[in-house]
Amino acid sequence: MTTPQTTARRIPAELPERIQHYIGGRFVDSVDGDTFDVLDPVTNQTYLRAAAGKKADVDLAVAAARKAFTDGPWPRMLPRERSRVLHRIADLVESRDERLAELESFDSGLPITQALGQARRAAENFRFFADLIVAQTDDAFKVPGRQLNYVNRKPIGVAGLITPWNTPFMLESWKLGPALATGNTVVLKPAEFTPLSASLWAGIFEEAGLPEGVFNLVNGLGEDAGDALVKHPDVPLISFTGESSTGSLIFANAAPFLKGLSMELGGKSPAIVFADADLDAAIDATIFGVFSLNGERCTAGSRILVERSVYDDFVKRYAAQADRVKVGYPDDPATEVGALVHPEHYAKVMSYVELGKTEGRLVAGGGRPEEFPEGNFVRPTVFADVSPDARIFQEEIFGPVVAITPFDTDEEALALANNTKYGLAAYVWTNDLKRAHLFAQNVEAGMVWLNSNNVRDLRTPFGGVKASGLGHEGGYRSIDFYTDQQAVHITLGPAHNPTFGKAPGH
């Protein structure tokens, strides 16, 4: 069971009362003066008001970004010069990691220890792309004595970056790093639930020496600011992370403009545990995989498929460990699951918990912790014996809720794993090397971890298949997305030109 909350909650010092946009190097209010409330997820009380961007604000931000791209130095700087700025950004983020984590934890409800890890990952993202842009090589294709062909990479223009409310600062860095490294300018539209940490980027970038207008930020609702950014004719690129349904809408709205799209969408990722697996390691990893980050993670292994011969033992041990997961105030270092981000999302997750009680056998959790009568707190919840046609098996819950289902054969396990519209990640637990690789090759997932939780290598492609995404980012895939690859052809020998309209006698 959850243990009583014994520590008093700490509120970060010097919280702002309002947040503005950042356009063309200046903090500004919305053109129409409109704002929206931002809630503290522990109390659900408004703690600040943020400028509510609309089309007029996005137009100003895009104009500033476009001017910085066409007239400013950033796209024309040497890769090494841009790299130095990105390294300074990484240094500043690292030096402020505790403050960043404190604000992120307060704003999003993430446990402070996990928010600190995400702040440090944000610094590493900038450092990674700062190094990659200098080490980058481009292809050359030679026909000896006749022709030389090479690829010239060029930044594309204004990149529209639309980011989610789960681990917002880190996921913003994942887009900002490569977009800036490659010489583009950007307009960032952070999630309306969690705008606090995004407001810190402007000061970090100014201190690091990023030229004016290269970075712009517009707060606001997705249907207002996000929609205007997607539909703006001077924004050729959109990188979006969020729900699959929103991704479909962006796809449709961007189609008339033939924009470049990179979309990392929802997931309902399976963790498949075979009888020969190290069950201790598998239980630890699958507990972490669905309950870390409050279960609000796209790659959560929220469907656990377990071979029948070890199923009862696995369920018993998993449920007991889930019951021991510490629910607490986000600022408490002992907390493992904090508060969900917003009352709307809390209501959605709790509706799935109630639904699950009719679709599976509740073996852990199932409601609000007694010691937290207010706020968006949910006990880690485990349902066993879940049918593959159950909604809690098929639909993304995005909270600390997991469904466990038995299987008898490898073929059944694969069919169950592939039996959703999603295909982001998969986790396979087995000591049979042949089975592990064959399963990985046949599972419908953009990323597979064998005998591991989600450990990212930033060089590898990140993205999903089916309803989980469009395109990939990470490593050179990010460089590909944020640049145009221009082929240049040089004739080295005599011109090989067929002659049309040749004059008589010649």
Task: Name the residues annotated as catalytic.
Answer: 264, 298
Q: Which residues contact 306 (CB under 8 A, 6 or more apart)?
A: 273, 314, 315, 404, 405, 406, 407
**Among 39, 36, 31, CA closest to 15:** 39
Q: Which amino acid is present at 121?
A: R
For 498, the token pair is 């067929």
For 317, the token pair is 């041990």
**Among 27, 386, 500, CA closest to 219:** 27
- Region of 292 (left: φ > 0; alpha: ψ -120 to 50; beta: rest) is beta
**Among 89, 119, 128, CA closest to 473:** 128
How many other CB atoms sit within 10 Å of the CB of residue 442?
13
What one-character-per-residue DSSP string does 170-235 give?
A: HHHHHHHHHHHHTT-EEEEE--TT--TGGGGHHHHHHHHTPPTTSEEE----IIIIIHHHHH-TT-
According to DSSP, the β-strands at 45-51 and 35-40 are antiparallel
How many other CB atoms sit within 10 Å of the CB of residue 2?
20
33: exposed, middle or buried (C-beta count within 10 Å: 0-12, 13-18, 19+)? exposed
Q: What is the DSSP letter of 11?
A: P
d(CA 426, CA 433): 16
Residue 90's SS3 state is: helix
What one-character-per-residue DSSP string does 320-355 give?
A: HHHHHS-B--TT-TT-SB---S-HHHHHHHHHHHHH
